[in-house]
Chains A and B, each alone.
Chain A
Amino acid sequence: METVERLKSEFSSSLTSLPSTNANETLLLLSENEALKKLVKSISTEFDILFTLLVVDRPPEAFELNYVFSRYRDSALLTIRVNLNHDKPVIDSIAKILPSAEWEEREAYDLFGIKFRGHPDLRRILLQDDWPGRPLRKDFVVTDEIRNWTGLDLKF
Chain B
Amino acid sequence: MINEEPNADEFSYPGLGEVMFMKAENFINSVLSWGRSRSLWPLTFGTKCCAMEMIPFGATKVDADRTGTLFVGDSPRQADLILCSGTISKKMVRRLLSAYEQMASPKYVIAVGACNISGGLFHDSYNSIEGIDRIIPVDVYIPGCPPRPEMFMDAVLALQKLIRENKEQGH
Give chain A's interface residues, CB within 8 Å of chain B: 126-128, 131, 135, 140, 142, 146-152, 154, 156
Contacting residue for A151 out of B90, B124, B125, CB 8 A:
B90
Residues of A near B125 (CB, < 8 A) are 142
Contact A154 B135 (CB under 8 A): yes
- Cα–Cα distance between A135 and B91 once the two chains are bound (Å): 15
Contact B135 A128 (CB under 8 A): no
Contact B124 A150 (CB under 8 A): no
How extensive is the interface on chain B, given as a class?
Answer: 10 to 19
Contact B126 A142 (CB under 8 A): yes
Given contacts A150-B135, A152-B97, whether A128 and B126 have CB atoms under 8 Å apart is no
Q: How would residues 118 to 156 of chain B score, 1 for a CB under 8 Å from any chain A CB and 0 otherwise?
A: 000000111101100011010000000000000000000
Q: Does B94 contact A (CB under 8 A)?
A: yes
Contacting residue for A147 out of B93, B94, B124, B137, CB 8 A:
B124
Residues of A near B135 (CB, < 8 A) are 150, 154
Please provide the chain B residues from 78 to 130 with a CB less than 8 Å away from any CB of chain A in the complex: 90-91, 93-94, 97, 124-127, 129-130
Residue of A nearest to B94 (CB): A152
Contact B91 A147 (CB under 8 A): no
